[in-house]
Amino acid sequence: MLLVSAAEMRELDKMAQRRGIPALILMENAGRALADHAESLLAGMSPGALEDVWSAAVRERPGQGIPAQGCPRPRTPVQAKDIVVLAGPGQNGGDGFCAARHLAARGHKMRVGFFGVEDRLPEEARLNYKALASYPVEIYSCESLSPYEILDALGEPDLIIDALLGIGCKGDPRFPMDMAIRWANSQDAPVIACDLPSGVSADSGHAYSPSIRADLTVTMGFAKVGLVSYPGRMYTGHLIVESLSFSPDLVVDQAGEIGSGSAAHLQEATPGAGATQAGMRILAKAATFEEAGSLLPERRGNHHKGLSGHVLVIAGSVGMAGAAVLAAKGALRSGAGTVTVICPGEAYNVCASMAPEIMVVPCGSSGVFHPGQECVDTVADKLDRADAVVIGPGWGRGDFQTGFLKEILPAVSKKICVADADALFALKQLGGLSYLARIQGSFILTPHPGEMSVLTGARVEEIEKDRPGWAREAARQGNCIVCLKGAGTCTAGPPGSLVVNTSGGPYMATAGSGDVLTGVIAALAAQGLPSYSSAWLGVFWHGLAGEVAMKRKGAYGILAGDIIECLPEARALIETQSYRFQKQGKGRL
């Protein structure tokens, strides 16, 4: 499912209008869609029928992720209900006015709280506001009433439509918007957000204070990055994407292509006989089952382990040997034909006893990796036969590990190299992302926010406010691929490509889970997938294995080993779901 920023969405609106679709028609389509989904919710549909954002609107909608019909109007008339529209001073408010008109025409008791001034409304919103005069709609406006009086007059509705801010929010909502948001959140009524819950950033998913907590979000045209990136994902509720009659070729899907140029670049073809305008290049998407299924490595009848790649795991130390074994087991369960672990000599016996399927090689005679020639030669000897490398899990931190990384980095850069944990700390000691960029290797970094803070110098709180942005920035600085781990892991490539993950959950917050992820990613790379595809697909698959483990064992107490054991079942689930969507004809729109 493609994801756009606020600026890209505004430009797409302009492109649609240049192609002959007036803004008034786009607003009419948006308002009608809001009304349809409001009635579907009022009809008592189950949450599953409202297309859960993680099981349907994101994963099950390939390509642009736009449902052809969305959530249709109920076939039987809906009993008249008391509905409130909270409308702001922009185009989002205009969508709300239009929805109020449609719902009033269907017999619902409509009240509109307008927190703006009529003369300052955009033209299309102003026309829809004036049209309400011909319908049985009660309007309470800031032009004649105080915000307190408006909210008091709105009563206790059966449903609230949030059309206050949409994609225009760039900070904490100010008075009187903040009052309207708090009022909506305090009501015992479901809330439908128009385009984006008011208070949530369309670009980052950061939730300003206060923000609407929606039960359902009907987003217009294309899904916004902030709807699937945490914490915005928690405020979105169920998600439905309405196309508003945008033509399918309005965008060019380049979200999976490295080196495809800037997402903001717009190329228009010269109009002429048979010529069409080229679409906007979109570089961000949410992970879907269908695309994941299309990337999974396949095996033919005469397959042997040599065709599945060799993963070299350079990990572990005394006291943290388990990290090396978890990464290695993750690689094996993800299809790698052979896995070799290089560990410090004193950790050899522990590593060798934990997994008989793994080859274990001692490196030196101490408890940690060090830059001595013996260690460097051991890595060089085993590296020749490797297709992908994992470095960092369980290393520990110190001058020895930093020196060791400096010695082996030029060599491992010749392979696809997944760097995690203590290797990221050592990298910072060497010069950080700029140092990595100068090496010009094929690196995949998998930091959590704390490790990203070490790499970039930014505070964790700052990173969490814009996870997509920081993942992209780190990828740019390091000329590498970055998987910023956490809820909704963001995988970014150097040219600005971004995939926001849609699998997994808080039950995966357990020691060793990240070590498993490095093994999954390395295994996919060893089997021939490009670095970027290996990274985001590995994240999606890893998260799905966590979901399977949760269903087996519950949401508390899942171990990293449980995730490993569920990887094959999770792969089968990807294959099954991807095949089902293809059979149903849910291809790109």
At 393, which CATH number?
A: 3.40.1190.20
Same domain flag for 242 and 311: no
pLDDT score, position 67: 35
Q: Which of 343, 245, 303 is nearest to 27 (CA)?
A: 245
**418 strand-pairing partners:** 390, 444
- The answer to whether position 266 is within a domain reads no
Instruction: Quote the CA–CA distance of 213 and 218 in Å, as a whole number.
Output: 13
- At 577, the pLDDT band (50, 70, 90 cuts) reads confident
- The answer to whether position 218 is within a domain reads yes
Same domain flag for 317 and 238: no
Contact 230, 207 (CB under 8 A): no
Mean of the pLDDT values across residues 37-54?
Answer: 63
Q: What DSSP element (H or E) covers 332?
A: helix 321-333
Residue corresponding to tokens 């070590």? 515
Instruction: Quote the CA–CA distance of 239 and 173 in Å, as a whole number.
Output: 23
Q: Kindly compute the dihedral angle of the four CA atoms of residues 586, 203, 129, 187, in this order, to the nearest 10 degrees.
A: 90
pLDDT score, position 581: 57
Same domain flag for 445 and 532: yes
Same domain flag for 229 and 312: no
List pLDDT tens digits, range 416-465: 999 999 999 999 999 999 999 999 999 999 999 999 999 999 999 999 99
Same domain flag for 219 and 327: no
Q: Which of 254, 228, 94, 163 is nearest to 501 (CA)?
A: 228
- At 78, the pLDDT band (50, 70, 90 cuts) reads confident
Cα distances (angstroms) measured from residue 495 to each of 67, 191, 283, 442, 532? 29, 38, 9, 14, 11
Q: Which of 286, 230, 341, 187 is nearest to 536 (CA)?
A: 286
**pLDDT above 50 for 268:** no
What is the DSSP secondary structure assignment for residue 56, as one 8-state letter?
I
Q: Look at residues 207, 233, 249 and tell me which one is the last residue of a structural domain.
A: 249
**pLDDT above 70 for 209:** yes
Q: Which range of residues forms the domain containing residue 98?
A: 2-67+79-249
State the chain's mean pLDDT as an integer.
Answer: 89
Instruction: Quote the CA–CA distance of 53 and 94 in Å, as a whole number.
Output: 25
- The answer to whether position 273 is within a domain reads no
Instruction: Quote the CA–CA distance of 100 and 112 in Å, as a whole number.
Output: 8
Same domain flag for 214 and 329: no
Question: Among 164-173, 453-462, 513-522, which is the least confidently predicted range?
Answer: 164-173
Q: Which pTM was predicted?
A: 0.90
Contact 456, 470 (CB under 8 A): yes
Residue corresponding to tokens 């099954």? 576
Number of structural domains (the chain) is 2
List pLDDT tens digits, range 104-159: 999 999 999 999 999 999 999 999 999 999 999 999 999 999 999 999 999 999 99
**pLDDT above 70 for 263:** no
Same domain flag for 381 and 475: yes
Contact 437, 404 (CB under 8 A): no
Q: Which two tokens stand for residue 526?
A: 């060893």
Same domain flag for 38 and 181: yes
CATH number at residue 54: 3.40.50.10260
Q: Look at residues 183, 218, 249 and tell me which one is the last residue of a structural domain.
A: 249
Tell the burial category of 455 from Cβ atoms under 10 Å away from its Cβ (0-12, 13-18, 19+).
buried
Same domain flag for 552 and 450: yes
In the chain, % of residues over pLDDT 70: 88
- The answer to whether position 272 is within a domain reads no
- The answer to whether position 446 is within a domain reads yes
**pLDDT above 80 for 97:** yes
Same domain flag for 208 and 318: no
Mean of the pLDDT values across residues 411-419?
Answer: 97
Q: Which two tokens stand for residue 70?
A: 């969305």
Question: Among 40-54, 95-109, 460-474, 490-504, which is the least confidently predicted range?
Answer: 40-54
Q: Which of 182, 240, 181 is nearest to 216 (CA)?
A: 240
Q: Can you state the percent helix, strand and coil of the chain, rounding each to 5?
A: 45, 15, 40
Q: Look at residues 182, 216, 249 and tell me which one is the last residue of a structural domain.
A: 249
Query: How many residues are present in the chain?
Result: 589
